[in-house]
Structure 1
Amino acid sequence: MKETLRQIVSFTMALLVLFSTMSFTVDMHYCGDQLVDFSFFKTAENCAMKASSSKSTGETSIMEMEMDCCTDLEIVLEGQDDLKISFDQFTFEQQIFISTFYYTYVNLFETVDKNLIFFKEYSPPLLIRDIQILDQTFLI
């Protein structure tokens, strides 16, 4: 259970780092109020209603100006660029704190054998008098 939970948390953290550093652009082309084309990786294609200026007279005709209802929208999401932190930027006190925290965290989960008998090597004390009989203390 712990191993599965650790893998799930590791995977979600990796996805979080991936999506926080990734930047992308969304291009959208509208004709009036309708979305005609959108693209994630390249520019959106224009429709045939896009107005063009005539080069011979230098003017745009009235017909073409009426059809110029198209708009292009570009949404840019920038990712982070400064994620790499080198270890030499830490002060000496921070390095000591990190190393002691790591040492105590690793040793926190060290398993201890529950069948340890610490007094196995020692002999019992010499019995001079039987104290229970002298005090007349008996377990019933």
Structure 2
Amino acid sequence: MKLYRQILLLALTLLVFVSSTGISVGMHLCGGELRDISFFGAEADCPMEQQKEKLPACHKVPASDDKAKDCCDDHTLVFEHADATADSKALILTKPLDLKFVAAFKAVILQFFAPEADLKPTYALYESPPLARDIPVLVQSFLL
């Protein structure tokens, strides 16, 4: 349960971070197939371009062919933070604070963060076993 709670808190933290800052996703398509995905605008080199650079000068094909240029395609998706507070007016709340709601909210929220203590067994009703014989009387020696 504790692991699930930590995973959920991490996922929600990342969601808040991404939604408040925005994210950029770049996709590189080669021959109609997705070859590379990059986040935050970092672009990777195209494998097709790297192969062309490795060829010696005598084997290079002129770059006038339009099909070679159309083989690769780059797409960039940008998700920006939309600031809704800049367009809205300040709203002043005049309703008094509901104490029953605050008490219930506090009880529920504090229950999530309260440490779970292991219950130790108590021996309040434990009675010792009865003695079979009185040992001090058996050990003593009486002089008459």
Under a length normalisation based on structure 1, what TM-score does the superposition of the two structures give? 0.42
